[in-house]
Amino acid sequence: MLRRSTFWIVVLALVFSVSASLSAQVYEEWEGDLLIWKWGGPAQSLQDVVVPAFEEAHPNVNVEFVSMGHPDVHSRLLTAFSAGTGAPDVSGLEDTRGAAYASGLADLTEYMAPYADKFVDYKLRFASDGDRIIGVPFDGGPVAMVYRRDTFERYGYPSDPAELEERIQTWDDLIEVGKDIYEQSNGRTKVIHMSADALENLGRLHQIIAWSAGSGIFDADGQVVLDNEVNIKAAQVLGQILDHDLYNDATEAAELMTWRDGTVATYAVASWFRRRLSSSVPDTAGQWGVFRLPALYEGGPRASNSGGSMFVIPEQARDKDLAFRFLEFALLEEANLRSFIEAAPHLFPAYIPFNTDPEYIAMDAYEEFFGGQNTNALFAEIAAEVPDYNFTRHYFEAENLLNDYLNNMRLGRMDAEQAMTEAAAELRERLGQ
């Protein structure tokens, strides 16, 4: 039977001020042990901020928190699922892996009933397996164009985000501007970063573009659609950027130099990129801005996503009620979620009551770095418009194949239509479609 604390939370909200921490209430009825796995910066924030508050509010619960690398979390989960033992009670999980890991995860549908309609649609899709909800959506990766204000000014273009967004409405517009900047700078300045081994690899950028137009590698039924009009046109955009040498292809290490010297004008990146950029080149504060992703078609959508994660409860969890109580406390009670995000402000929470709250919008830690622009507000607007996307359990195989064919296009071995047509045919053959 599910143990709920919703009634008492409502009572407390009436008694105490809105700003009072929910963790001030003590829940002695909860007892047991929890083992939690998570990776990266969010793991540190979770461990330093949320876990101590949870243990203070639940004095009869002991939390063991294990932070490890991103690949380790996912490989160890698979090992535990295969062995039938060894899984944690709670774990982070990358959104792209939900479908592939679903068989080892607990059904959270009943637990999530009061909350399911409070998440941006595409994030709830990633945390679902058919009719089952298998995770609590956490951070999303709404994508926009991070750009150098001073670079655009240098070549006669507006530096204000709204004006630049109006000037560059489509990818064709970006290519046109890129050609002009390339000519004015004698080839020194490129309009976009598109490295094969950095975060913005060819396949990822291709799917960012296609996703914004409502497509992906697979359709809603899991059928391969790489050779549809949207995917071919997205590949053609990349082809034009490649053919006209409008991209910077520095390795990830060398990319830092472009952040510092402004020789790359834009980066198609997600909200979480803000921390990496601002911590790497703090001396460039004020020289950056953000505008919406160009549309693939004139007048089309300008919202996409890259990255993001959920929290899951493995079927092997010792006490699923207690495991969900931790997730409810950390991610669904707004005072505690606020404390979490304050410690990791680059993360974009998918929980709508929080990400649309004026208090969250106002707590943009990167506003000064981005020249006084409130990026929380922009990413919240974008997240609400991101189309649905279906990763399927074959996503990683498909993404690797897509990268191979896009690389063939980059090397001049085939054009965009041929690359997408042959990639789709090979993927269908592999999957038996």
- Calculate what percentage of the chain has a pLDDT beyond 90: 86
Please state, in angstroms and rounded to a whole number, the distance separating the CA atoms of residues 151 and 147. 8
Longest dimension (CA), the chain: 70
The DSSP call for residue 304 is E
Which residue, among 221, 218, 223, 217, has the nearest Cα to 432 in the 3D structure?
223
pLDDT at res. 44 = 87
Angle between helices 416-431 and 395-410 (to 10 degrees): 150
Q: Where are the beta strands (DSSP E) in 313-412?
A: 348-349
Contact 66, 37 (CB under 8 A): yes
Q: Is residue 21 predicted with pLDDT exceeding 90?
A: no
| CB < 8 Å & 24+ apart, contacts of 421-426 | 421/227, 421/232, 423/226, 423/227, 424/224, 424/225, 424/226, 424/227, 424/231, 425/227, 426/401
Neighbours of 363 (CB within 10 A): 15
User: 13-27, 28-42, 404-418: which has the minimum mean pLDDT?
Assistant: 13-27
pLDDT digits (tens, 9 = 90+) for 103-138: 999 999 999 999 999 999 999 999 999 999 999 999
| Model pTM above 0.85 | yes
Q: Where are the beta strands (DSSP E) in 25-89?
A: 32-39, 61-68
pLDDT digits (tens, 9 = 90+) for 326-380: 999 999 999 999 999 999 999 999 999 999 999 999 999 999 999 999 999 999 9
pLDDT digits (tens, 9 = 90+) for 32-49: 999 999 998 888 889 999
Contact 168, 364 (CB under 8 A): no
Q: Is residue 64 predicted with pLDDT exceeding 70?
A: yes
Q: Which residue type does 171 have?
A: W
23-62 in b/e form (b: 16+ CB < 10 A) is beeebeebebebbbbbbbbbbebbbebbbebbeebbeebe
Taken in order of first residue, the domains within the chain and their CATH numbers are 22-140+307-362 (3.40.190.10), 142-306+373-431 (3.40.190.10)
pLDDT at res. 248 = 85
286 Rama class: left (phi>0) / alpha (psi -120 to 50) / beta: left
In this prediction, residue 256 has a pLDDT band, given cuts at 50, 70 and 90, of confident
- Calculate what percentage of the chain has a pLDDT beyond 70: 92
In this prediction, residue 195 has a pLDDT band, given cuts at 50, 70 and 90, of low
Residue where the block lists tokens 């990400």: 355
Alpha-carbon distance values, 101 to 127, 252, 392 (Å): 11, 30, 10
pLDDT at res. 5 = 43
pLDDT at res. 24 = 63
Please state, in angstroms and rounded to a whole number, the distance separating the CA atoms of residues 370 and 111. 39
User: 170-179, 211-220, 249-258, 384-393: which has the minimum mean pLDDT?
Assistant: 249-258
Mean pLDDT of the 247-269 span: 86
Helix, strand and coil percent figures for the chain, each rounded to 5: 50, 15, 35
Contact 351, 119 (CB under 8 A): yes
**Distance in Å from the first CA to the final CA of the chain:** 42
Please state, in angstroms and rounded to a whole number, the distance separating the CA atoms of residues 77 and 53. 26
Mean pLDDT of the chain: 91
In this prediction, residue 257 has a pLDDT band, given cuts at 50, 70 and 90, of confident
Mean pLDDT of the 198-211 span: 82
Contact 139, 349 (CB under 8 A): yes
Q: Where are the beta strands (DSSP E) in 69-175?
A: 90-94, 128-129, 132-133, 136-148
- The answer for residues whose C-beta is within 8 angstroms of residue 122's C-beta and 6 or more apart is 140, 305, 386, 387, 388, 389
pLDDT at res. 11 = 32
Please state, in angstroms and rounded to a whole number, the distance separating the CA atoms of residues 47 and 45. 5
